[in-house]
């Protein structure tokens, strides 16, 4: 048989190490240290209802694929209904988008900002299509979440991949993502200022340091998911990289406070959790913030500072779980209580987000990137098997090495 009669060999195309990435990120290097000519910023939010009729459809979006009936969703819906069915998160992201645009203009950086949500209008699909229609196809994403876990990082990356696939723009648009910014100075500074104000206020009222407790609160996640947060080749301890990042930032904040008020160095603090939503049979990170508050009087505590460390703005989990339930728990325990601010549109925070974009535009070496803990600077390109969803497994995701 001649060579021309032979069946041609099947050539298997190798899947890209980092799907949907810019050429600079496609190799999968942990830190991208070469300049990238981005032509747009994708501000990626969680989304929230803006009226009573939106509440259940929004919650269906949040829980899509889990088969949760509407009657169970209604158990959560009352948090939103208490506030007229309106989550503050969309207005907060409108304000954040405007603040980022103002900061870009102040620095003379000509980059449009496209805002899209995972779970409610304006959706990510529309934002990406708008960018592509304007010819802005090399996007750098800023997600409104600072830490590493499935819900706070990988789920955003999976949504980027899903949107690019479903819109047919996967061969046209690339989406990279700024590094997780839990220990960036711009994110940490507003928390340090808030905790200092609360602790200094208690001290000035005559309370001794041991009569004060600082509770750093973040969203609980399933323990199995927490164990898989961050790269798998590091032993992060209990709670995985997710808990390790929060603990590291809390330590930095308390050191900042002690630097201003030395007597605050002996103020105790704890990392606590809130907003768990899984079935009782599924273990989630503990202890719960309200459970801890109930125990404080017997430890001689008179005042508590509640710090929403896991949140970038005052959305529903802050308004309900902390401002309502946690404050009520403190009142019932006879404690003075202060809930400290989230970053929101604090100038340091907004400037820090733009810094994160600029370091990717300029290809800033990792050794020169600001970070407040020994865990940073975090990765530009998420590592293999990072932040797996135990229930659903791995789906295609942008801005990270497959899977």
> Is domain 185-339 given the CATH code 1.20.210.10 in the classification?
no
- Decide which of 3.40.50.740, 3.90.1150.10, 3.40.50.1400, 3.40.50.300 is the CATH code for 40-48+87-180+346-368: 3.40.50.1400
User: Do the Cβ atoms of 228 and 390 come closer than 8 Å?
Assistant: yes
Burial label, 393 (beta-carbon count in 10 A; 0-12, 13-18, 19+): exposed
How many Å apart are CA 292 and CA 152, to the nearest integer?
A: 24
Q: According to the model, what pLDDT value does residue 10 have?
A: 42
Q: Which two tokens stand for residue 120?
A: 């409610």
Q: Give pTM, 2 decimals.
A: 0.94
Residue ranges matching CATH 3.40.50.1400 in the chain: 40-48+87-180+346-368, 185-339
User: Do the Cβ atoms of 195 and 307 come closer than 8 Å?
Assistant: yes
Q: Collect all residues with Cβ–Cβ distance below 8 Å to 254 and sequence separation of at least 6.
A: 195, 214, 264, 265, 267, 269
Q: Which two tokens stand for residue 258?
A: 């002690």
Q: What is the pLDDT along the chain (403 residues), one digit of tens a residue?
A: 333 344 444 444 444 599 999 999 999 999 999 999 999 999 999 999 999 999 999 999 998 877 788 888 988 898 899 999 999 999 999 999 999 999 999 999 999 999 999 999 999 999 999 999 999 999 999 999 999 999 999 999 999 999 999 999 999 999 999 999 999 999 999 999 999 999 999 999 999 999 999 999 999 999 999 999 999 889 999 999 999 999 999 999 999 999 999 999 999 999 999 999 878 889 999 999 999 999 999 999 999 999 999 999 999 999 999 999 999 999 999 999 999 999 999 999 999 999 999 999 999 999 999 999 999 999 999 999 999 998 888 999 999 999 8
């Amino acid at each position: 048989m001649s060579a021309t009669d032979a069946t041609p060999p099947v050539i298997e195309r190798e899947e890209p190490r980092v799907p949907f990435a810019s050429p600079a990120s496609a190799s999968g290097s942990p830190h991208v240290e070469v300049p990238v000519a981005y032509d747009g910023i994708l501000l990626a939010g969680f989304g929230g209802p803006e009226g009573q009729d939106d509440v259940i459809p929004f919650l269906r979006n949040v829980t899509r694929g889990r088969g949760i009936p509407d009657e169970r969703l209604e158990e959560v819906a009352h948090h939103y209904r208490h506030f007229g069915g309106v989550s503050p998160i969309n207005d907060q992201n409108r304000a954040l988008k405007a603040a980022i645009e103002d900061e870009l203009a102040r620095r003379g950086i000509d980059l449009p900002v496209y805002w899209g949500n995972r779970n409610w209008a304006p959706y990510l699909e529309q934002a990406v299509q708008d960018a592509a229609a304007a010819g802005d196809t090399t996007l750098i994403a800023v997600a409104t979440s600072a830490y590493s876990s499935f819900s706070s990082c990988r789920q955003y990356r999976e949504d980027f991949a899903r949107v690019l696939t479903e819109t047919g723009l996967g061969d046209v648009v690339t989406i990279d993502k700024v590094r997780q910014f839990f220990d960036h100075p711009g994110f940490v500074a507003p928390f340090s200022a808030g905790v200092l104000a609360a602790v200094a206020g208690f001290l000035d009222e005559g309370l001794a340091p041991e009569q004060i407790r600082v509770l750093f609160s973040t969203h609980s996640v399933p323990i199995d998911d927490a164990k898989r947060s961050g790269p798998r080749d590091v032993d992060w301890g209990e709670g995985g990289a997710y808990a390790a990042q929060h603990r590291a930032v809390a330590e930095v904040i308390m050191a900042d406070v002690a630097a201003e008020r030395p007597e605050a160095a002996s103020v105790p603090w704890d990392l606590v959790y809130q907003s768990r939503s899984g079935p009782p049979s599924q273990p989630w990170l503990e202890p719960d913030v309200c459970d801890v508050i109930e125990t404080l009087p017997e430890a001689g505590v008179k005042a508590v500072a509640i710090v929403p460390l896991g949140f970038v703005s005052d959305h529903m989990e802050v308004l309900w779980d902390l401002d309502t339930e946690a404050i009520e728990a403190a009142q019932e325990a006879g404690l003075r209580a202060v809930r400290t601010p989230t970053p929101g549109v604090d100038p340091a925070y907004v400037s820090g987000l733009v810094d994160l974009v600029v370091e990717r535009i300029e290809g800033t070496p990792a050794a020169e990137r600001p970070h407040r803990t020994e865990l940073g600077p975090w990765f530009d390109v998420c590592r293999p098997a990072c932040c797996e969803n135990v229930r659903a497994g791995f789906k295609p995701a942008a801005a990270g090495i497959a899977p």
